[in-house]
Homo-oligomer: A and B are copies of this chain.
Amino acid sequence: MDIENLRWWGWGTLDKSYSLEGRPDFWPTLQEWLGLPDGALQEETAPKALEDISLPPSRFEGPTLASLEDLVDGDSVFADKRTRVEHAYGKSYRDLIRLRAGRIRTPPDAVVYPNHEAEIGALLAWAAERDVAIVPFGGGSSVVGGVEPPGDGRPTLTLDLARLDRVLSVDRESHTARIQAGATGPEIEAQLNRHGFTLGHFPQSFEFSTLGGWIATRAAGQTSIGYGKIEHMTQAVRVVTPVGPIETKDVPATAAGPSVRDMMVGSEGIYGVITEATMCIRPKPDVQDYRGILFRGLEDGVVAFRDLMQSDSLRPSIIRLSDAPETTAFAVLAREHSGLRRWIDRAAEAYLRVRGYSLTGSTALMLLGFDGGSHWIPQQWSLASDICRDHGGLLVGRSVGQSWKRERFAQPYLRDTLLSHGVLVDTLETATNWSDLMSLYQTVVGTLKDAITANGGGPGYVMTHVSHAYPQGASLYSTYLGQQIPTSDPLVKQAQWEGIKQATTDAILDAGGTLSHHHAVGRDHARWLEQEIGETGVRALRSLKRSLDPDGTTNPGILLLE
């Protein structure tokens, strides 16, 4: 990855941004939804320039720095301002608020890029001897504070795994690949595609996030229904812990005790550094056939979704069901002549209305897709269409799927644009069983709306989709927008966001939803962990921490409260 080109104060690379060209309704609609005064959105606030930001000086100098440099090959240790800033935070709303304001109080004292796994053990020992905290860093796209130095007074060394970016081997017969933890989504897919395979893991952060980060956070890709969450496709892991390496057995299943692999998956760097994994891979599908389906209301769509997931004959790779506000946003905010709008242009809107669908009313849009051989997909569509039609589903063709695919990684770029215009925007996600899903949905949406208003965000706009599903239930993913409190003080903006976070997380846990389905715990959710897994559960995680990292070296303050 061209690290020179990274947008340190926001998402992705500087050559890309979310284009609002051809979206004439975007700003006026948003203005109306968020209750902003006329012209409020025309003002654009730029992030503070890097040269105007001052960092606390690095505590690694002289012989300390030299001893660190001695542990790694070549040019691998960096303590310059830009590198430290780029590794100071993840990419949560709170992080972006702080980065844009240049409020960077606890950057790492240095960043090291290990060249081989052997260097990592040495770095952990070096850190433990000197009471230095180690922060493992993949793509840095955490939205829960997972890569933020502890700020507990100890110096911090961030360990960026970018150089461990290779697919080490592909077992064509067993459909597995050994992959290094620092490989990003595109690096993994490019190397696997050459062998005719895919990992099938496409989170929204795909372009920047890494295998190690996915495993550390129990990530889910957009096609998790077909390919599994990362924990379902991780066959074995290697983790360098401060007390020695863990290498779980590379076999498809075992009964040799509780799964040590599953103690490492989701461990968020607190037990050590994930260095590589053996992943289940699949032949790259001949066809990916993704289409849109309209339902008269969310409830109809949810029942169809559940039936699709519980069918014994269907193997969809992706299903996403947007509620009415999200469907409306697609319809109104989308680029003209693309996706849903293109379809609306073609169909007579009156025809839709007569049949009971209204894209700016209660209609819910489902994206349904199959990956696989061309012989098999038509028959899957025939079965799936029957199920959808039973619940009032109206198939609206492939253009919706195509435009979704085209923009599937673009949304984080939009966030930067919105932040520049004083819009509060964040996402949250949870999961529950089907029987509780609609009531959890009502809780999440209601609480978010109330919390936005209560925290000075105006009326707010909340849009939600159901995705990442199982026969037993599904996740809910909400995007919410509101008015940022108009101030240059990042602490005020942060407090606004924290008020919303507190209210919605409390409400989710009270309603039986999980603390996170695929964003992990990090720093932001740590105070709710005990409510999620219980006192004895926390005790179990702590005992592993004490045993594998007795000096508290790796990722302190993440996952477990200090």
Contacts and interface: CB of A to CB of B under 8 A. Distances in A.
Contacts of A474: 252
A174 interface: yes
Interface in A488-526: 512-521, 525
B255 A266 contact: yes
Interface in A253-273: 253-260, 262-268
A243 interface: yes
A151 interface: no
A259 B265 contact: yes
Contact of A268 (B245, B257, B262, B529): B257
Contacts of A548: 536, 539-540, 543
Interface stretch (A19-27, A32-40, A41-49, A429-437): A429-437
A509 B315 CA distance: 36
A251 B429 CA distance: 13
Q: Which of A256, A262, A315, A537 has the most CB of B within 10 A?
A: A256
B372 A313 contact: yes
A540 B541 CA distance: 10
Contacts of A241: 536
Given A376-B313, A435-B174, A256 B539 contact: no
A28 interface: no
B262 A259 contact: yes
A547 interface: yes
Contacts of A263: 258-259, 262-263, 540
Nearest to A383: B376
Contacts of A520: 255-257
Task: Give the interface centre of A244, A435, A473, A475 by most chain B CB atoms within 10 Å.
Answer: A473
A470 interface: yes
Interface in A302-317: 306, 310, 312-313, 315
29 contacts: A171-B433, A174-B435, A218-B254, A231-B253, A235-B472, A245-B534, A245-B536, A252-B432, A252-B469, A252-B473, A252-B474, A253-B514, A254-B515, A255-B514, A255-B519, A255-B520, A256-B266, A256-B515, A258-B263, A259-B263, A259-B266, A262-B262, A262-B263, A280-B471, A282-B312, A285-B312, A379-B379, A539-B547, A542-B547
Given A176-B472, A255-B520, A256-B533, 6 more contacts: A174-B434, A253-B468, A256-B516, A263-B263, A312-B373, A313-B372
